[in-house]
Structures are given as C-alpha cells and as structure tokens.
Structure 1
Amino acid sequence: MSTAAPSEELGAREPADGKGPGFMVVAKKEFKASLLKHLRSESETKASRPLTTARTTENDDAAHGKCAGRGGGKVSRRELKGGLEGFVLDNVLSEKECDSLLEGLASDGHKFTFWNPEAPNRKDTRNVDTVEVYDETLASEIWSRVKDNVTKIIEIPQDNDTWEYGLEGTWVACGINPRLLFARYSPGGHFSPHTDGHVVIDFNHRTLHSVIIYLNTCAEGGATHIFHTADMKSKKFVQDSKGRFRFAKDKIADSGIPKAGSMLSFSQHLMHEGEPVGEGCMKYIIRTDVMYKRTPAVCDDSRGIEAYKVFQQASEAEGRGELVKAFDLYSKVSRLGVLSSWVFSCFFLCV
C-alpha cells in the first residue's frame, strides 16, 4: 500500500521519505457541469467525420498510428522514450474546441481559484489555480476520440513490485474519469515532482493511467517532465532560484509539450513534474484518468463487496492514525475470508 498523501481530489503523491516537498489533502468544491455543448457548438460547424472502428489488440500497429477523430485532425500516438509506460496523442481536440471549453467554463460561472485556499502563499511545491467539474458527457466524448489509442490492456502479475497488493489480473481500459480538473498555470506556475494517486471505484474498477489534455500551446516552459525509473527511488530534490522544488534536468526521460489539443497519458506510478511556465505565458490543462476494469472480476459477490467496503474504512482509519480502529476493521475483513493478501499486508503495517 502506498503511504504517501494525496494533494487534491484527483490525487497526487510525493515520495514518502519526509525529505521532499510536503503535499496535503485539500478538499475543493466539485461542480457538476455539462461542457459538451460548448465543444459541440464548435465541432458541429464542420462536417462530421466518422470515428474508426475499435482495434482488438494493444500491439496493433494501426491502433498506435493514425486514426480519424473529431478534434484537430487525425489522432496520432507517440510512445514515451526509455520504455516508460505512456504515450502522447496529437489532435484529440482542435484549437477552437480548446478555446470553446475554456470560454464555456467561464460562461457557466466556474471560476479558477488557488488549489489550496488555506495556504495561498505556499507555492514552493505547487502553484496553480483549479476548477474541478464532474462531467460524464464530456468524459464520454473524450473517450470516443482516444479509446482506440490508449493502453487497452494492463497485465499485473501477483508478484509485481510496482503496484499495490490486490491488483493482480488483467485490466481493460473502459473510459475516462468524469472528474475533470481544469488547471490554469500563470507565469512561474509549476508542480513539483510527484506521482499521481489512484481513483478507486471498487475492487474491480479503478484508474491506472493519468491523463493530461493541453488546452493551449505554451510558448515557453510548462512541459510535463517524466523521470527515469531508476532515478525515482532517489527522491533527491533541488530548489531553484525561486525556491521551487525540482529534479535535476539530467533526470528527465521524456516530456509532454503543451500543445493545444494534445494529450499525455502515463502509468500512475511514474514520477513527473509540471515545469514552471515562462514569463508572459499561460498554460491550461485538463487533468483526469483512464478508467480500467478487472476482467474477469474477483470478489464481486455480496461478501466481497462488503469486505472491500470495510477494507476502505480500515485504510481511511489508518490514514488518520487511528491504528486500533484500523486493526479491528482489518480483522473484520479477514473474518469475511476475502482480500487476504491486502489484509495480511495491512496487519503487518499496523502491528
């Protein structure tokens, strides 16, 4: 189990060594939205182009090449360098669609505010204004454009050393998380090195890959840098001349460049940072996730569902430091006879 704390609703985690920048839980209001009307008001002025049919395998070269979309043209995929689990898609949205979404966000009354209103002067780890919306229709539209090019299948072995306990099995991509974090980075705005937290719906339905959709082209700075896997364990931050926590440039393995309508997606265990935005520039993004479902599902009967519910309560109690309560709840899960590997690991941490 990861012991690092999420920094906001969609989840961002720092190395849990106590030596890096400290992130914290911040609960911001989530707005229900229906932004698809703004996207369609732009795209419907052009002749509709059919989407390609779905591919059946992740390794299909055609699926990783170009396919028709309704955004800025044909969607193309580039793999991340160095064998990192991720990719960049171009032309997911057109520039006009990006503008329409931002204009629609404003016209619907959604205002950007500093990500942590309780500490507005704390900008050494993160300096960004955000609006979080829940929009199933927009998420569905994005999914219709990218589903042929995402990482469709993720196999997690039982003895894996990357993911947490209980995730072994075959996970199939099934959608985009409808919780969409719109973020605005002003000049100097940045996000220090971190890994993203997971959104867990239930034992068989969760996020595994993060998504960043760039809504404008940033002329200077603003890249999303992803770091070499071997360097992630060192967790050695440096501070730049303005006190911002960074990783050294020689640790960068690849980057997503802010280009209007493009999308970066990567495994949520990869450490990355939002590079400071250059003077006179702005960066706008949507941060969300690819949802996955385990196939076949496990522990999905009434007993398994109840066990997972109690397990989540135990994890929350442990996170609050209520170890006695957590131990009792883990014991209850154990008596239900499911989730044994997770419970064993948590027993070990609590005693």
Structure 2
Amino acid sequence: MHSSSFQGHGSLITPTSPEGSTAIVTPIDFANSSLAGDYSSFFAMTIDNLLTPDECAKLQAAAGNDWQTLSKGNAFRECQNILLFSQQWASAIYDRIVSHLPEEVKTLRKGDRLAEVIAGPSHLKASMGARKTVWRIKEANERLSFLRYQPGHHFKPHCDALYARPGKDERSFLTCQIYLSDAPKGADGESSGGETRFWTSQVGKRQRAHEMGQVTEDKKEAPFLDVKPKVGKALIFQQRMLWHSGQEVKHGEKFTVRLDLMFERHFERL
C-alpha cells in the first residue's frame, strides 16, 4: 500500500474549532434501535461540525491526488486510498475530538460496563499485585487513511481491527471516520448510497458464508442503522465486535479520512 510521511501542514487544522463553528454531539442509541439485541451497550457517536467545509476541502487538497486502488477478496472492498502520516494533523484532530468524548470512554477499567464492551475482558484482566489494568486515551494515530468511493465502490460488513503499536503498550479501541464531503447526490431524489451502515452481528457471519458459497435463499433483510455522510461530521465507534459497512456509492463520490484513537495501558490501584 502506498504511503507517505510529511510535516508542515499543521496550520490547515488548528486544535480548536474556528469561531462560529459549534460542534453537535449525538450519541448513537443502539439500545433503542433495531440492533438492540446485539449492541444495546455498545459505543458509537457522531460529532457534526468537527471540521468546517473549508477545512475539509483544504485537508483533501493537501493530501494530493495519488489515489491507489484498494481491492480485497471477491470484491469485499472496492475503493481508492491515500495513506499519509502526519502527527500534526492527527494531534489537531484529536484535540478537537477528545473534549466531546464521554469520560467513561476515556478511561477503561475492569468492572466498568462500557470498558468491558469496548476493550474486552482479555485487555482488562492483567494486574500487578493490587494494581490493575487501566487503559487511558492518549492520542490519535498519525496514520491517516484518505478514502475515495466512486460509483460501484463499497466496503462489505466487517469489524475494524485493534491496532497495537510495536514496542509500546498501546492499543486502538476506537475508530474515527470524518466525512470530507456530503452524501453523494442521486438523480431525482434517488438514494445515492455511501452510508456507513451498522449491521446486526450475524450479518458478518452470513457474509462469510456467502463468500464460501454457503448462502441460503432467505432474502429477508437484516436490521441495520445508517449514518449518512455530511461534510465535517465525525463518526466515532468502538472497533471490537461492531459490524459495519460502507454502502455502495451509486452516484457521485464520497470522501472520508479515517484514524485510530489510541489508548495506553497503565497499572493503577482501583
């Protein structure tokens, strides 16, 4: 995968929002959705106006136009990507995000309901005598993945992998996806696709069965919950066990940038 590292563009995104830009935080309430049976205690949220349209346009332009095709396994994923490394950009985006995160998401410890769901028991069980594992949010990974979806492009149901930094006791537990464009425009009000869609966890199993030629003739659509692209909106959600897809773009183009939110492990008296 093509990637590059650069500095000097930090001024494109400042740690604080421009004057007049008010962020709007909306928790995604899985418990009162059609996905409650699987995700009633899972974490996801949106932040409208995290970036301004002008910031999104400048960020996209600064990333360049060296798009690389991503194609994975029987058209499981079809889109284009520019992978860039910028600690300046990542830090500025993180500073915008962190104040909007619930406190129970910033610190993950054994026994806390949300921590058990986000980190999973295996990441919370380690201890050093009376000192127990506590994961504290630290920063955004400097790895920024710019994505372009054109007509026919999609990303089928999957869960995001937890990223572990080599040589450090750090893990990513949250994904941040920022939409750099509005939802693509359809013709005559027709749906243009491009939604980020959360699926019941069984969908992933059916997808694997389909790829293995074991799909049945049951055409009943499984429950889902959609987040529609909107320029400057951030979607933040737990990586562990939360199935989602990038729905096929039918018209126009969809642009996003994706980052991992990193946590560092500490041992503390609880």
What TM-score, normalized by structure 2, do the two folds share? Answer: 0.74
User: Which of 169, 186, 190 in structure 2 is aligned with 1:204?
Assistant: 169
**Partner in structure 1 of residue 140 of structure 2:** 176
> What are the Cα deviations for residues 77-117 of structure 1, in whole angstroms up to 9, with x where unaligned?
111121331111111111111111111122xxx5011024x
Distance in 1, matches of 2:81 and 2:87, equals 19
Change (3 A) 1:293 1:249: farther
Per the alignment, in what secondary structure is the counterpart of residue 181 of structure 1? strand
Larger relative contact order (C-alpha < 8 A, sep ≥ 6)? 2
Paired with 1:248 and 1:216, the residues of 2 have a C-alpha distance of 32
Given the alignment of the two structures, is residue 218 of structure 1 paired with residue 172 of structure 2, yes or no?
A: no
Which residue of 151, 174, 191 maps to 2:155?
Answer: 191
Query: Which residue, out of 30, 43, 55, partners 1:85?
Result: 43
Say if 2:180 and 2:232, in contact at 8 Å, map to a contact too: yes
Q: Does the aligned pair in 1 maintain the 2:48–2:232 contact within 8 Å?
A: yes
Q: Distance in 2 between matches of 1:199 and 1:71?
A: 34
Among 73, 78, 97, the alignment partner of 2:55 is 97
Contact 1:115/1:128 (8 A) holds in 2: yes
Task: Give the one of 230, 238, 242 matched to 1:259.
Answer: 230
SS in 1 for 2:205: coil
* Structure 1: runs of 5+ lacking an equivalent: 1-27, 44-49, 52-68, 240-246, 299-351
SS of equivalent to 2:56? helix
Contact 2:24/2:48 (8 A) holds in 1: yes
1:152 maps to which residue?
106
Q: For 2:196 and 2:220, how far apart are their aligned partners in 1?
A: 14
Q: Secondary structure at the match of 1:200?
A: coil
Do 1:132 and 1:181's aligned partners in 2 also have CA atoms closer than 8 Å?
yes
CA contact (8 A) 1:72 1:92 kept: no
Aligned residues: 228
Q: How many angstroms apart in 1 are the aligned matches of 2:77 and 2:220?
A: 17
Which residue identity is paired with 1:142? Answer: I
Rounded to whole Å, the distance in 2 between the matches of 1:72 and 1:214 is 20
In 1: Cα distance, 2:78 partner to 2:244 partner: 15
User: Which structure dedicates a bigger proportion of its chain to strand?
Assistant: 2
Alignment partner of 2:183: what SS?
coil
Identify the residue that residue 315 of structure 1 maps to in structure 2.
none
Alpha-carbon distance in structure 2 between the residues aligned to 1:37 and 1:90: 22
- Superposed, 1:231-270 pairs within 5 Å as 231=202, 235-237=205-207, 249-252=221-224, 254-269=225-240, 270=242
Larger radius of gyration: 1
CA distance change for structure 1 residues 204 and 114 in 2, over 3 Å: closer, same or farther? Answer: same
Q: Which residue in 2 is equivalent to 1:23?
A: none
Question: How far 1:37 moved relative to its partner?
Answer: 4.5
Q: Which amino acid aligns with 1:194?
A: H
Measured at CA, do residues 248 and 259 of structure 1 come closer, stay the same or move farther in structure 2, by a change above 3 Å?
farther
Identity %, equivalent residues = 23
Over aligned residue pairs, what C-alpha RMSD do you find? 3.0
Alpha-carbon distance change, 38 to 102 in structure 1, aligned in 2, over 3 angstroms: farther
